[in-house]
Amino acid sequence: MEAEVTQVESNQLKQKPTDESQLGFGDIFTDHMFLANYEDGKGWINPRIVPYGDLSIDPAAMSIHYGQEIFEGLKAYRGKDGGIYLFRPKDNFRRFNISARRMCMAELDVDQAVNWMKQLILLEKAWIPKSEGTSLYIRPTMIATEPHLGVRPSRTYSFFIIIGPVGAYYKEGLDPVKIYVEDFYVRASVGGTGEVKTAGNYAASLLAAEKAKEKGFTQVLWLDAKHLKYIEEVGTMNIFFVIGDEVITAPLSGSILSGITRDSVIQIVRDWGIKVSERSLTIDEVINAAQDGTLKEAFGTGTAAVISPVGQITYKGKDHVVAGRQMGELSQRLYDEIVGIQYGQRPDKRGWVKRID
């Protein structure tokens, strides 16, 4: 099922950004967007690509009142060879369906959704920036649309994809970030919705993130909700610690997001013959390792930043410097490897990259 295309009149096309070095994140969108609707009994209907613009939504739409909303985030990369590459796109839509099931929303056919997304990207390919580190960010989203104020799953949904050029995440190289270990607020609990990309998780995280920002921190490191003891993740990234010769990240226990970058890092590090463990890790173990010098590196992983080195961890009022506030050796090696694969410059032996043009 191809999407039906209604193109913007050529004299109505937007001005594309001219200076790629000034691209930020999440403010610029292309000329078109993809939309499809779901109705119980009919399935997904009316897939279409239309001029980018406002959605018309009933004020009683259930997503607005009860938060049935899910999303994804991935990128299309312009290689040096001019090719357009996607990185593990099916994994994003598989995860979208996991989110849909948890939130009692309609699932998509993964191949169908990837094809709709490709159709939109190819129509908008002139928008994909070319300089190093820049990309086209892709935001698939689903919202409940049925106008109804009783609490139950909606019977109708809208699925849409909006896309826009984004800048290199790091303006002055890979600057290590300062993270604040949050020991009061929690992001998610086991049995809750922490492992799905749904709006409410992010709303719930804002207050702690704002307070940390006021104190000069870039990100919050979340601890588990029950004991405020075990490491979970950082902001919108998974987190890894290199302690001695072991690379450690939290297990997928139900309260953290199963990052595709996280999984890629685990596979690559394992292939390099380095010990990597998905295991529970307490904040005390991390702080002790920072104090006795065995904590060599810490880094966050996610689509936006790929690898985000941590230069300082602050817990209960005490600052702990990590890796001399420099990007660690493994962090740099992983960044180069993953970015190299994403832009079609390094061998992709796992079949992660899909060239679409």
Ligand X SMILES: *Cc1c(COP(=O)(O)O)cnc(C)c1O
**Cα angle for residues 140, 141, 143 (degrees, 5° grid):** 160
Interactions with ligand X, residue window 225-254 (CB under 6 A): 233, 236-238
Nearer to ligand X, 156 or 255 (CB): 255
Of 13-21, 97-105, 286-294, 296-304, the segment contacting ligand X by CB under 6 A is 296-304
Answer whether 62's CB lies under 8 Å from 68's CB.
Answer: yes
70 binds ligand X (CB under 6 A): no
Provide Rg for the chain, Cα atoms. 21
Answer whether 64's CB lies under 8 Å from 57's CB.
Answer: yes
75 binds ligand X (CB under 6 A): no
Closest contact distance (angstroms) between CB of 70 and ligand X is 11
* Tokens of residue 332, six digits: 């740099």
- Angle, nearest 10°, between helix axes 260-271 and 89-102? 130
- Angle, nearest 10°, between helix axes 260-271 and 329-342? 110
Nearer to ligand X, 139 or 155 (CB): 139
Q: What distance in Å separates the CA atoms of residue 237 and residue 214, rounded to the nearest whole number?
A: 20
Interface residue with ligand X among 129, 165, 302, 311 (CB under 6 A) is: 302
Nearer to ligand X, 128 or 260 (CB): 260
Interactions with ligand X, residue window 260-279 (CB under 6 A): 260-262
259 binds ligand X (CB under 6 A): yes
Interface residue with ligand X among 51, 73, 79, 192 (CB under 6 A) is: 73
Q: Using the CB atoms, write b or e for 103-117: b if 16+ within 10 Å.
A: bebbbbebeebbebb
List residues binding ligand X (CB under 6 A): 73, 197, 233, 236-238, 257, 259-262, 301-303
